[in-house]
Amino acid sequence: MPPSPTTYCGRFAPSPTGPLHFGSLVAAVASFTDARAHRGHWLLRIEDLDTRRNRPGAVDAILYTLQRAALHWDGPVTHQSSRIEHYEAALTQLRHAGLLYPCTCSRREIADSIVGMPASGEARYSGACRGRVWDSRFPRPPAWRIRTSAHPISFDDRLHGRFETPNLESSTGDFVLRRADRVIAYQLAVVVDDAASGITDVVRGADLLASTSRQVFLQRTLGLPTPSYLHVPTATNARGEKLSKQTLAAPVDNDNPAAGLWLALRFLGQQPPLDLRHAPPQDLLAWAVEHWRPSSIPRVQSASCENREPLN
């Protein structure tokens, strides 16, 4: 289908830490289906900046699983590792605006300076290094933090409604944009890339809701547009842990792609007909696009995927 005149542009942005599991498939299916239901583009971006977490072969495994599942993306695949100069340019812009400062706090010092825990469970940084200026006598390479402000940040989620962070400075604190090992932080890269690709709609797991106000803050500070957001439930195991490599989530079964898609659609509150579980995946996705009802997605931040129905 040709894109509509006001082109919706969505994306799926996996990190190549391992093969896709059910939780990442849910995010892929939700973002794909929402994009196609809007007759929009759906882009694929590999978030491979954190080289310590990348696993050899993971990119190929992810692309293969998406292809097997007929989740066909538009245009070339973007790799964040080939876009460092764009993140550095954004850092330069922020540095010229006087908003960055170097921080050499060790992990222990940062832990000692915790003065509150934001909802995300991440430690808030006290701002101990605010006002420092970099010079060549620094004991070690610094991380670079952005100076947050006390202005309220809000955004609307299509499913969860309005989110307000009355004061980012006191709730989250100044956050790292480039680590001491020079790795660009996810928060900066995602904002730069979504804007560069013209992303209008972000559909992703609700584990990233807690990051969204930082991203909206960065968009405003860098003069970039804020996309529309839809955060879908994060899949957990029976113990309530997010599916991940660490929690030993099983990879998506490439030999039975429609079965995984069918379960992902059920997880998203859609009602795919039973007989499509064994159909070619493109037939099931065509059904999903035609019958997509975002309002039926459960309004929860996470849900177990282990009490789902048996497969036959």
Size of the site for ligand GLU (CB under 6 A): 7
Residue number with CB closer to ligand GLU (43 or 99): 43
Contacts to ligand GLU from residues 38-77, by CB under 6 A: 47
Closest CA to 13 of 40, 31, 36: 31
Closest CA to 254 of 26, 18, 62: 62
Binding segment toward ligand GLU, per CB under 6 A, in 7-15, 103-111, 113-121, 146-154 = 7-15
Q: How far is the CB of 290 from Zn ion (least distance, A)?
A: 53
Cβ within 8 Å of residue 97, ≥6 positions away: 221
Binding mask 174-213 for ligand GLU (x = CB under 6 A): ----------------x-------------x---x-----
Query: Counting contacts by CB under 6 A, is residue 13 touching ligand GLU?
Result: yes
Among Zn ion, ligand GLU, none, the one that 264 touches (CB under a kind-dependent 5 to 8 A) is none
Q: How far is the CB of 127 from Zn ion (least distance, A)?
A: 8
Cβ within 8 Å of residue 159, ≥6 positions away: 230, 231, 232, 294, 297, 299
CA 54 to chain centre: 16
Binding segment toward ligand GLU, per CB under 6 A, in 10-18, 92-100, 167-175, 286-294 = 10-18
Residue number with CB closer to Zn ion (26 or 103): 103
Phi and psi angles of residue 171, each rounded to the nearest 5 degrees, phi first: -95, -50
Query: Counting contacts by CB under 6 A, is residue 257 touching ligand GLU?
Result: no
Query: Counting contacts by CB under 6 A, is residue 252 touching ligand GLU?
Result: no
Q: Which tokens sit at 82?
A: 């080939």
Q: Report the Cα–Cα distance between both ends of the chain, in Å, rounded.
A: 33
Distance CA 260, CA 264 (A): 6
Residue number with CB closer to ligand GLU (177 or 284): 177
Binding site for Zn ion (CB under 5 A): 103, 105, 128-129
CB-CB contact of 235 with 305 (8 Å):
yes
Q: How far is the CB of 311 from ligand GLU (least distance, A)?
A: 26
Q: How far is the CB of 265 from Zn ion (least distance, A)?
A: 46
What does DSSP assign to residue 291?
H
Q: Which tokens sit at 95?
A: 């540095």
Instruction: Give bridge partners of residue 161 from the DSSP assignment.
Output: 157
Among Zn ion, ligand GLU, none, the one that 129 touches (CB under a kind-dependent 5 to 8 A) is Zn ion
Distance CA 41, CA 105 (A): 42
Binding site for ligand GLU (CB under 6 A): 13-15, 47, 190, 204, 208
